[in-house]
Structure 1
Amino acid sequence: MSDAASTSVPVIETRALRKVYAEGSEAEVIALQGVDMRVDRGEFVAIMGPSGSGKSTLMNLIGCLDTPTSGTYHCDGVDVSTLDREELAALRRDKIGFVFQGFNLLPRMSAEDNVAMPLGYAQVPPAERSRLAIEALEAVGLGGRTSHRPSELSGGQQQRVAIARALINQPPILLADEPTGALDSKTGEEILALFKRLRDDGHTVILITHDAEVAAHADRTYVMRDGEMHEEGGEA
């Protein structure tokens, strides 16, 4: 596939994506209703909405952590419904980096070891793992903190470690769920600036947030309400 052809394929494309829990029962919950979404390579997109709006359900579907009730999802041109469990795991590993509000770092491991962890699953040799982890930490401004444990790092530094870990496999897509939620506003601004730099480096960043000020940093904003999605005109 030529460069021109590959860039024309959306990194994320959903069509009529629907998710229903306990379908047909009295406890039925329609979490997503016919979501159409297209995100191109190198975009920084925010998905905004209050708790219960469906944005976390959508993130789980985009991250291939759950399957839709109906509709289609193409991730980097691949129809994920055609993949078996092993292929899905490989797609998650190779295509998607996850960043969470709670950092999800292992407390007894150094920053370097936390970042290198995904490479263990990919059976990368230890020396190469170490080199790549240090490079990733340097890329997020933590080259001098490789041997520090999470308890020896500030909240913003821990989130940078988590971002470095998400980037270690060089995935095209970065999914960030409330990544500034546990940080003060100044540190949050620094993390958002880092996401913009990653976008400029060619990563596609999708940010889940309930905060309009955070969403305003993105190139485009989708708003979720009662399982339905609408795009609003936003400025980066």
Structure 2
Amino acid sequence: MSASTPPPVVRPPVIETRALEKVYSAGTEAEVVALKGVDLTIAHGEFVAIMGPSGSGKSTLMNLIGCLDTPTGGQYLCDGIDVATLDREQLAELRRDKIGFVFQGFNLLPRMSALENVAMPLGYARVPHDERAGRARDALAAVGLANRGGHRPSELSGGQQQRVAIARALINRPPVLLADEPTGALDTKTGEEILALFKRLCVEGHTVVLITHDPDIAAHADRTMVMRDGELHEEGPFDTRIAQASAGVTP
């Protein structure tokens, strides 16, 4: 490398946790240790599945990654930013700018059109009205719904509603999409289409973290992590039978 050539820019992991812990009702008879020393590193552009049965801690981990809750111990860095150093307003800005949420239940407002649902987060970001509509149309086009902007949720199929929800999650161009059982309310074929969309988004530079209890869904990810009693374990080359056993699922 010549002296005039700048060194390559090394991006920090988009998600990094170090010995992350979460304890509910600490010091009481009702104490629950939900997370035990979780170390997790996810790079930009990865598609990672975190799976486990109910009560394993995966929902708690999702809430911490999404900055919806605070850890009891350890450290969480989101795109290189130590979340613990942020005040409430800064935390809300990080959540808005860095993380898009996709849920099983779609969470669309029934009286709003698809375009209005997608554009809604831009209002909180104080984006001018004309720009909101243009960006919302672009986001709908990116998920294959360019001609459905005027339809309300009741006029859309389940798969189309989930695509609208994904477009809404993308509207602020966050580096991370956090998807909690995003195919749970969909039939198998439509679920496969949504997972294919996530893969395409990763190719385009987004990072997708998929929370699921289903090994067949997790098999679509590049990497699979399994929660067991509050501890996070990374699987090797994906084997459905091993993942099922780890997650407490009967084949």
TM-score bracket for this pair, using the shorter chain length: over 0.9
Q: Identity rate of aligned residues, in percent?
A: 77
User: Contact between 1:223 and 1:229, CA under 8 Å: does it hold in 2?
Assistant: yes
Q: For residues 234 and 123 of structure 1, what CA distance do their matches in structure 2 show?
A: 45
1:176 aligns with 2:168: no
In structure 1, the gaps of 5 or more residues are none
Match of 1:71 in 2: 74
1:5 aligns with 2:9: yes
Q: Deviations over 1:104-155 (max 9, x none)?
A: 0000000000000000000011110000000000000000100000000000
Q: How does 1:185-204 map to 2 (within 5 A)?
A: 185-204=188-207
Structure 1 runs (4+) deviating above 4 angstroms are none
Match of 2:121 in 1: 118
Instruction: Give the letter for the 1:142 counterpart.
Output: L
Q: For residues 177 and 8 of structure 2, what CA distance do their matches in structure 1 show?
A: 22
1:230 aligns with 2:233: yes
Aligned residue-pair number: 234
Q: Deviations over 1:14-67 (max 9, x none)?
A: 010000000000000011011000000000000000011100000000000000
Q: Deviations over 1:69-91 (max 9, x none)?
A: 00000000000000000000000
* TM-aligned CA deviation for residue 234 of structure 1: 3.7
Match of 1:151 in 2: 154
1:217 aligns with 2:238: no
Q: For residues 175 and 109 of structure 1, what CA distance do their matches in structure 2 show?
A: 23
Q: For residues 154 and 8 of structure 2, what CA distance do their matches in structure 1 show?
A: 46
User: Contact between 1:216 and 1:234, CA under 8 Å: does it hold in 2?
Assistant: no
User: Contact between 1:42 and 1:205, CA under 8 Å: does it hold in 2?
Assistant: yes
With over 3 angstroms needed to count, the CA separation of the structure-2 counterparts of 1:3 and 1:146, relative to structure 1, is farther
Q: For residues 6 and 110 of structure 1, what CA distance do their matches in structure 2 show?
A: 41
Q: For residues 4 and 191 of structure 1, what CA distance do their matches in structure 2 show?
A: 34
Q: For residues 228 and 46 of structure 1, what CA distance do their matches in structure 2 show?
A: 15
* TM-aligned CA deviation for residue 6 of structure 1: 4.0
Q: For residues 169 and 6 of structure 1, what CA distance do their matches in structure 2 show?
A: 24
Two-structure CA RMSD over aligned residues (Å): 1.3
* TM-aligned CA deviation for residue 4 of structure 1: 3.5
Q: Structure 1 residue aligned with 2:141, among 128, 131, 138?
A: 138
- The structure with the largest alpha-carbon Rg is 2
Indicate the SS of the match to 1:145.
coil
Q: For residues 57 and 75 of structure 2, what CA distance do their matches in structure 1 show?
A: 17
